[in-house]
Structures are given as structure tokens and as C-alpha cells.
Amino acid sequence: MTRHFIDIDDLSAEELEEVLDRAVAYKEKQHEGVSHPDLERQTLGMLFQKPSTRTRVSFETGMTQLGGHAVFLGERDIQLGHGEPLKDTARALSGYVDAIMARVFEHANIEELARYATVPVINGLTDDAHPCQTLADLLTIREAVGELEGTSVAWVGDANNVARSFALGCAIAGVDLTVATPPEYALDADHVERADSFGAVPTVTDDPAEAVAGADVVYTDVWISMGQEDQRDYRLAAFEGFQVNEDLLADTDARVMHCLPAHRGEEITDEVVEGERSLVFEQAENRLHAQKGLLSWLLEE
């Protein structure tokens, strides 16, 4: 049966640990200059409806380092669901490549690709979920704190697609998560229920100071995501008081994460991003290593 990676809870706790262990091993090999062509002559097809610097470069570089090849298909190269049904795209590509990574708007599109593809489909991001980011996030926390289970993490800001996958990942890994959002931007009931199925419902609050108190890690993301630009003024007003800045962090030694790109001066200050407690660029690098761990887990026989 073909394994897909549509959201982080497609992995069990044991499988998540295995993917992260593989990521650590690949990171060590790369830093030591040790070759690791474990996916030699295999090809990843990359479908991009939404552009991204980190997703494209990390997957393409990762496949190269694993001895394989990646093919980039942007909006002008392939029209997802327009001119050709998604089920036809999925089946045709399955005859050419060993895996498909897609970064699209609608979550239903990634689900349909997976339904008809006969090779693994990886969710590179949808409006609902960003599980590849969660792999890098958990790897970063494990490196910074030393373990995942029992670590205290505060999410501050918008419970967006990154937050939703992260909440599920924390539940699977045993991370103690508190989510601080304005009430209208809170974590939805479906993701709370899915987290509960792993026995770890996140604590929910509308008070950022309460969330970060005692936290080992504080995590934030943009308040205005791609496609939400027309809501800018409304969202800036709604998230007033939720900025991750030195005042919010004054009484904690917590490390700080952001999945990038950051709108410095909005959800996080330049001072925090560039400060000693920042894990932002380690987190960005870990996209590469985490995705290599995932690719090898999905594709190695």
C-alpha cells in the first residue's frame, strides 16, 4: 500500500520518531561531508501552485544530496484541476516519478492527488496544513531542548495552517502546547479533537503572557498569510498585543521560533529574530534535513 504524507497525523508516534531520527542522521552526515545517496536515480515531482523559497530549495537540494533528482512544475507548467482533471495528473505523473510533492491552496486538491497517485504524495503546504514544517519544528525543538516529551511550547498569534499541523505534531510527540490567539482566530474544533485522539489537547488562551510563562519555546507566524492581503488592516487590529517582542519574553528564558518569511515589526520584532534566543535559522535549515528523513522513509524499500 502506498504511503502518503498529507498531514502530520498520518504518522504514528513511532513513525514520527523514526523520521526525525533519520533527519538527525542525515544532518550529521552532511555536516561531516559524508555522502548519502540513499535515493539514487529516484525522482521527485514538485507541483507548485503557491510559490515558496524554502520548500522548493529544501526539497530540490534534499533529493540531490540523496542521489536523486527533482523536477519543478510551476503554475505555468501544470494547471492543477484546470484543463486536466487532478486524477489524470496524479496517474500520469505516477508513471514518471517516484514521489510527488505538491504545494497548493485547497486541501481537497492534495487529497485527490493522493487518492489517485500510485506513488507517495507529500503535502508541501495547503491552506489547511503544513506538515513538512512541523517535522522541521519538532526536530528543532528536540535539538534545542534535548527532548520532545514534556517540553513546554507556546504558540502566539494566528492558529493558521502551520499552527494546526504543529498542534497535531505536538500531541503525537508529547509536547505540552499552549495556543494563545484572539478568540476569532483560535484553533478549530476538528484539530483539537484530532489532538485529543493522541491524548494531548493543547491549552487554549487569549493571553500571550499566560501562554509564554514557563515555556521552553515560543513560536509565532505571520498574521497575514498569502491570499489574505485584503484583510490586512482588520487583522493588524485583531492581533494587537500578540507580538513576540522583548517585553513579552522578559520573564522567560524561552527560545524563539518562526517558520519564515517573517513580517518583522508585526508578529515578531527584528530584535527577537536576530537575538541570542532565536532558533529561526536553525529551524529553516532543518526543513532540508527533516524532508530528507521523510523522503527516505517514504521511498526506501
CATH of the domain at 263: 3.40.50.1370
- Average pLDDT (130-153) is 98
Report d(CA 265, CA 271) in Å as an integer: 9
**Residue corresponding to grid cell 507541483:** 47
pLDDT of amino acid 77: 83
Confidence of residue 76 (pLDDT cuts 50, 70, 90): confident
Lookup: cell for 171: 500531541
- Average pLDDT (136-148) is 98
Q: CB neighbours of 74 closer than 8 A, spacing ≥ 6?
A: 48, 51
Same domain, 18 and 93: yes
pLDDT of amino acid 134: 98
Same domain, 78 and 161: no
81 has pLDDT over 80: no
Q: In residues, how long is the chain?
A: 301
82 has pLDDT over 80: no
Same domain, 232 and 273: yes
Same domain, 192 and 54: no
Same domain, 221 and 243: yes
Q: Please give the positions annotated as active site.
A: 103, 130, 133, 221, 259, 287
Same domain, 159 and 224: yes
- Average pLDDT (78-86) is 78
Report d(CA 206, CA 186) in Å as an integer: 8
CB-CB contact of 206 with 183 (8 Å): yes
Chain mean pLDDT for the chain: 96
22 has pLDDT over 70: yes
Confidence of residue 225 (pLDDT cuts 50, 70, 90): confident
Binding residues for L-ornithine: 161, 221, 225-226
Same domain, 13 and 114: yes
Same domain, 125 and 140: no
73 has pLDDT over 90: yes
pLDDT of amino acid 301: 63
Same domain, 114 and 200: no
In Å, how far are 142, 147, 182, 192, 289 from 150, measured between CA atoms? 11, 8, 26, 18, 24
Same domain, 272 and 145: yes
78 has pLDDT over 90: no
Same domain, 241 and 203: yes
What's the total number of domains in the chain?
A: 2
51 has pLDDT over 90: no
Identify the domain containing residue 9 by its residue range.
4-130+287-299
pTM over 0.95: yes
Pick the range with the lowest mean pLDDT from 78-82, 140-144, 248-252. 78-82
Same domain, 32 and 87: yes
- Higher pLDDT: 83 or 74? It is 74
Binding residues for carbamoyl phosphate: 52-55, 79, 103, 130-133, 259-260, 287
**H helices present in the chain, as ranges:** 13-32, 53-65, 86-94, 107-116, 131-145, 161-173, 189-196, 208-212, 232-238, 270-273, 280-299
- Average pLDDT (273-277) is 98
